[in-house]
Amino acid sequence: MQYLSERLLATKTGRPRGEEQGRPAVAEQQRDRILTATEHLIARNGYSGTTIEGIAKQARVSAVTFYDHFAGKEEAFVAAFERAVEEARALLADEAPAALPWPEQVRAGLGALLTTVSENPARARMCLVESMRDGRALLAAYEAVLDSAAAKLREGRRLDSAAGDLPGVLEETTAAGVAWLLRERLETAGAERVEEMLPGLIEIVLGPYLGSAEALRLAVAEEGG
């Protein structure tokens, strides 16, 4: 009753202008904390082992506030995944700008990806491991990222007049293969020293377009620093 009375009083008297203006910022901070808590708990406990109550507690919000932002756990997971993807894309835009020659874009992009995995192991586990285990909406978001990566790889066909001989599903297979290798690394050895994978990934990704010798040269050059 006291809560209802306070709500009715607030409705009648209105809120101070500063409080009204501050609400969007508070809501955004709450949402951000919920996404961060979702990311960390799912990485640590898995999707099935993560509860809305646990997310709310770590985010320092009530369960009611959680539901103000998300309909359920899967929706929060998808939002956390999409936030991670947006930030990774921003990093790739800085580290592998479109002005670079395509092979250099790919090499720099792979390097930035591994750096992100190394620096954000919880986020990497959420995106590359747990995203494959639960939820149709999350799987759709994951597959959309692979489609985007495949589109970037497909630009390599312009480098070779014989590109028409390459398998039609090469790019999709390559993108999925890189994700699988990273997932296996995270599950077996964690994110420590994951940057050591870079020369091998360069050779795998660029080989079909540049030829084995040139891809190996770029991979060895990267390994040598």
Q: Domain ranges for the chain, please list them.
A: 2-223
Report which of residues 221 and 223 the model is more confident about: 221
Q: Which residues contact 171 (CB under 8 A, 6 or more apart)?
A: 149, 150, 151, 153, 154
Whole-number pLDDT of residue 119: 94
C-alpha 58/C-alpha 70 separation (Å) is: 16
- Which pair of structure tokens corresponds to residue 143? 């597959």
First to last CA, the chain: 68
> Phi-psi category of 134—alpha, beta or left, where left has phi over 0 and alpha has psi -120 to 50?
beta
pLDDT at 161: 67
For range 113-119, the mean pLDDT: 95
Contact 199, 107 (CB under 8 A): no
Residues 77/105, Cβ–Cβ less than 8 Å:
no
Query: Which single residue is written with the structure tokens 């939820």?
Result: 135
Which residues of 87-173 form beta strands (DSSP E)? none
Amino acid 29: pLDDT: 95
pTM equals: 0.82
- Cα angle at 185 between 173 and 198, to 5 degrees? 70
CA–CA gap between residue 168 and residue 148 (Å, rounded): 16
pLDDT-derived band at 133, boundaries 50, 70, 90:
confident
Residue 125 neighbours by CB under 8 Å, 6+ apart: 43, 186, 191
Q: Can you tell me the mean pLDDT for 40-59? A: 95
Query: In terms of pLDDT, which residue wins out, 4 or 126?
Result: 126
CB atoms within 10 A of CB 83: 17
- Please give the angle made by the CA atoms of 127, 153 and 204, to the nearest 5 degrees: 80
Domain 2-223: CATH class, spelled out: mainly alpha
d(CA 178, CA 182): 6
